[in-house]
Amino acid sequence: MDDIRRAAPRSKVLNRDRARFEVAGGDYRLIAAFDFRRQIAFVKFIGTHAEYDAVDALTVARF
């Protein structure tokens, strides 16, 4: 997660494998889960701030 913080300083680490990113100038939020061993990122959610506020960022799996 340290690499994510360095690459995207405005991101927020949610736990040991999930992070939240602001996209499109901050109009949308994206939650990604990472499998660091296999070097894969999974998009779990993308939506507006209002949609983000309605989900649990630690468990959402919309995609």
**Could you tell me the residue ranges of all domains in the chain?**
2-53
Distance linking the first and last C-alpha atoms of the chain: 22
Residue type, position 14, single letter: L
pLDDT band at 17 (very low <50, low <70, confident <90, very high): very high
pLDDT of residue 25: 87
Over residues 20-57, the pLDDT tens digits come to: 999 998 899 999 999 999 999 999 999 999 999 999 99
Whether the full predicted model's pTM is greater than 0.85, yes or no, is yes
pLDDT band at 60 (very low <50, low <70, confident <90, very high): very high
